[in-house]
Amino acid sequence: MATVELKDVRKVYAGRVEAVKGVSISIPDGAMCVLVGPSGCGKSTLLRMIAGLEEITEGTVSIGGEVVNTRGPAERDIAMVFQNYALYPHMKVYDNMAYGLRNRGMDKAEIDRRVREAAATLGLADFLERKPRELSGGQRQRVAMGRAIVRNPKAFLFDEPLSNLDAKLRGQMRIEIKNLQKSLGVTSVYVTHDQVEAMTLADTLVVMNQGRAEQIDTPLAVYERPASIFVAGFIGSPAMNLLPAKGTENGLALAAGGTVNPKETSLPAAGRDVLLGIRPEHMTLVSDATAADLELKVTAVETLGADTLAHGYPLSSNDRSEPLIARLPGSVRVKDGDVLPLAVQPGMAHIFDAATGLRI
């Protein structure tokens, strides 16, 4: 076990394509750090630089307090779990898990002890004599994790390990990975594009955008105080509503028409162009239109059982390019064409600078 630290790490490919732009992250011993972001944001490149699979252009990567920039993957004492499992199809589960230890020349009895302990931890004790083709996707992923566990590495690296699984199995495996990582206490770096995985697994969440670490914080802090409109739009499902507005002495004048005065939220200077951010779950249906901050003209409804998602646009505007979504209780009956008076929950409005996209 060890700390993992990145200082101003950059990756520039031939042709001066900058894939990672000066990222600094400090991951405490035993913590789980999740890198999340859309395809092409640099998260997998960053993970591969930690693993030694990509050369670092600038900056340093340290594992256990030692800079490892010039060390090969085998010299970094890390274990990596891949998206496609990377199992040997002709080998039994036992041999897949033991392979790396045998290559190290480890004592046969010690190999057997480690493999069987890991198999018991992962619920694979009854499958050691099977080959990968005889296992389910979730079982194969456990074998890949077991192969990493038996090495007792300083750090685990996970490269989108659940993306090949169906939705139900992904949910089960998320919890298994979380519990396993906590019980082993191994420092881990996990890459995903799935925000549910990111929020569920992370002690530290790093939201990547175009090669930069847009925000580094705990998952709840990222959700509750997104640093930019990119983070606000990426974390949360459905995404945060972002409405163009201008600061006034009495609140925020929406470009779509009407004025909103978010309670318990610091207002920008009068005349400043901003974006008002409101999460769909932070809008409440009110019975009195005079108590509403805005009115939603419904154009589509998604009935999800526990929740109802009402899609539309502000009644004061005919501009449908500024959509608005409200997450309401499942008991609420809504249909196309309805006008819903909505109030923003106190303290739940987010204000971003329109020019920079950064939180005010």
CATH number, domain containing residue 275: 2.40.50.140
Same domain, 131 and 196: yes
pLDDT at 264: 67
The pLDDT of 322-351, averaged and rounded, is 92
Task: Report yes or no on 359 lying in a domain.
Answer: no
Q: Does residue 15 carry a pLDDT above 80?
A: no
Same domain, 127 and 148: yes
Domain boundary among 234, 267, 294: 234
Q: Domain containing 214 — which CATH number?
A: 3.40.50.300
pLDDT digits (tens, 9 = 90+) for 68-120: 999 999 899 999 998 888 899 999 999 999 998 998 899 999 999 999 999 99
Q: Does residue 249 carry a pLDDT above 80?
A: yes
Q: Lowest-confidence range among 53-57, 180-184, 324-328?
A: 180-184
Q: Does residue 64 carry a pLDDT above 70?
A: yes
Share of the chain above pLDDT 70, in %: 98
pLDDT at 255: 86
pLDDT digits (tens, 9 = 90+) for 110-138: 999 999 999 998 989 999 999 999 998 88
Task: Report yes or no on 217 lying in a domain.
Answer: yes
Q: Which range marks the domain in which residue 113 is found?
A: 4-234
Domain boundary among 207, 234, 261: 234
Q: Strand 32-36's sheet: what is its strand order? A: 78-81, 155-159, 187-192, 32-36, 204-209, 212-217
pLDDT at 21: 96
Q: Work out the angle at residue 279's Cα, subtended by the Cα atoms of residues 274 and 283, and round it to the nearest 5 degrees.
A: 105
Strand blocks (E) in the chain: 4-13, 17-27, 32-36, 58-63, 66-67, 78-81, 155-159, 187-192, 204-209, 212-217, 241-248, 251-254, 259-260, 273-278, 283-285, 294-303, 307-314, 324-329, 339-344, 349-353
Same domain, 19 and 130: yes
Domain boundary among 234, 250, 283: 234
Overall pTM surpassing 0.85 (yes/no): yes
pLDDT at 166: 85
pLDDT digits (tens, 9 = 90+) for 164-190: 888 888 888 899 899 889 988 999 999
Per the DSSP assignment, residues forming a β-bridge with 217 are 205
Task: Name the residue type at position 154.
Answer: K
Share of the chain above pLDDT 90, in %: 73
pLDDT at 268: 85
pLDDT digits (tens, 9 = 90+) for 216-240: 999 999 999 999 999 999 999 899 9
